[in-house]
Amino acid sequence: MRRLAILTVKDEGAYLLEWLAFHRSVGFTDVLAFSNDCSDGTDAMLDRLQAMGLLTHVPQAGPFPKGPQWAALNAAEGHPLMAEADWVMPIDIDEFVTIHLDDGSLDALLAAFPQATAFAMTWRLFGNGGVIGFEDAPVTAQFTRAAPPGMAWPWRASMIKTLFRNDKSYARLGVHRPRQPDPERLAAQVWIGGTGAPLPARYARIGLYTPPSSQQYRTHQLNHYALGAMESYIVKCGRGRANRDASTFDMSYWVERNFDTVEDRSIAPAAARAAPLLAELRADRVLGPLHAAAVRWRSARFAALMRDEPFRALFGRLLLTPPTRPMSPERLAIFLHHARRAAETVAQPARD
């Protein structure tokens, strides 16, 4: 059974080998990796990994009117790997599929839910943990504190990426979920959320979030290490965003994701199983030096950005800002009151 991960990267060479070793070990048989405008050697690493038979690399050249990620997804739709895949998942390099069943593999997940046509992988937001400096060490071991389950806001705490059966039920790829469903196939769709229960039928058509629940990560989750070390976040800000090329990161992005509320080390067994492949990749005569060069590039890039006042000021704000706290029930009630009022206003018909 072929499981395809679709990845878009730019200047992520320092993280590439960990991500690839992990997802190959979890059970993705194929990786279709798109690169664009790399300055740190990520593209050269992808070329080497392709030569080793571990992924397929497609370099992209801009401009990208809707961002490089959308360009990659559009290109992936016509790629031969897409036609051969039984299951497909567009995924980012700061996201790690984490299965809480049996041996933690995709095999275990698919065996537990043979009726499923899609798995909504709800983000679990992992905070910065107070880490300032970038370190060349596995992300999954460095950042182990995360948002608690069941948060109703920020809405990103319940946002999904989707692993879906590639059976022509959907005509187009999307960043978070497949698009353009076939109306004649809607009734056959079974979307499974992280509670292990089927999601409402509407998810076959629409839906970017799963309902907040204390059990929303019971069977599977998507660990989202969106922040990393403060130095890494600054470099990320200097790069821009994959799906909106001109957009920049700021403190709102940081505050809405920097939850260190609870410890979550559930990914550790899967990471340990991936460790031998990671060690093999880092020891490769070509990949090893390329990885080391990407690490050096990241440190040099941070130093260069610190000569620019806006980035230096942003770094200062990161150092000032404590971890984000989940809203108390009282504050959440106030927020949801205004959200409901806004929704009611939008729903009211226009009056003369």
Confidence of residue 349 (pLDDT cuts 50, 70, 90): low
How many whole angstroms from its chain centre is CA 158?
Answer: 13
Which one has a higher pLDDT value, 348 or 189? Answer: 189
Residue of 87, 150, 90 whose CA lies nearest to 124? 150
Indicate the average pLDDT of the chain: 94
149 has pLDDT over 50:
yes
The encoded tokens of residue 204 equal 């076959």
pTM: 0.95
Average pLDDT over residues 215-236: 97
Q: Domain extents for the chain?
A: 3-346
What's the pLDDT at 240?
Answer: 66
Per-residue pLDDT, 166: 98
Tell me which of 30-44, 82-96, 135-149, 231-245 is least confident.
231-245
pLDDT score of 88 more than 90 = yes
State the DSSP code for 348: S
Please check the confidence at residue 244 and state whether its pLDDT lies above 80: no
Share of the chain above pLDDT 70, in %: 95
Helix H or strand E encompassing 349 = none
- Residue 6's closest CA among 312, 243, 326? 243
Round to whole Å and give the CA distance between 35 and 12: 10
Give the pLDDT score at 352: 40
DSSP string, 228-296: -SHHHHHHHHHH--SSSTT----HHHHHTT-B-SEE--TTHHHHHHHHHHHHHHHHSTTHHHHHHHHHH
Distance CA 92, CA 278 (A): 18
